Amino acid sequence: MQQPAPRSLPDRAFPVSWDQFHRDARALAWRLAGAGPFDSIVCITRGGLVPAAIIARELEIRMIETVCIASYHNYTDQGGLRVIKGIDGTIAGTEGGRGVLVIDDLVDTGKTARMVRDMLPKAHIATVYAKPQGRPLVDTFVTEVSQDTWIYFPWDMGYAFQPPIRDGAAG
């Protein structure tokens, strides 16, 4: 689930590198290894795509489905939730989602997780990161961050020159 885009600089920033995200996604897989077995993964797009690929590899899960839910329509305002693509009936119809692992990068307010939980009430929902408002809606996560923290995911950032500290740059 995407987090609300900050209107100004966030109170707290949590930049995540590709290496760190990969380590955190593998840590999530490690925690999930004993929670299964899982027959399939449903990843919540777009943020769930990268961790779902890593977890599918680590847990040897071949059946991967997506659910596409839009809640941020212009990077500044969170609109109403809209299902762009639902879950395939062969997966959604499996005893309310029993044996289904739902993956996302982040649970923020929990609105998206709640919508997916309504679709798959018996699925196991896991996220890499969790904020306090959404945390009760997920079964497994790796790292909790405060509600006022903006997570900068690696796919949202580019490499940029950083001037040396001796030149007056903040560390």
The catalytic residues are 104-105, 108
Residue where the block lists tokens 């449903």: 42
Q: Which of 127, 161, 139 is nearest to 21 (CA)?
A: 127
In the sheet that 63-72 helps form, which strands lie side by side, from edge to edge?
78-85, 63-72, 40-45, 100-107, 124-130, 140-144
Give just the sign of the alpha carbon dihedral 98, 103, 107, 111. negative
Decide if 67 contacts 87 (C-beta within 8 A): yes
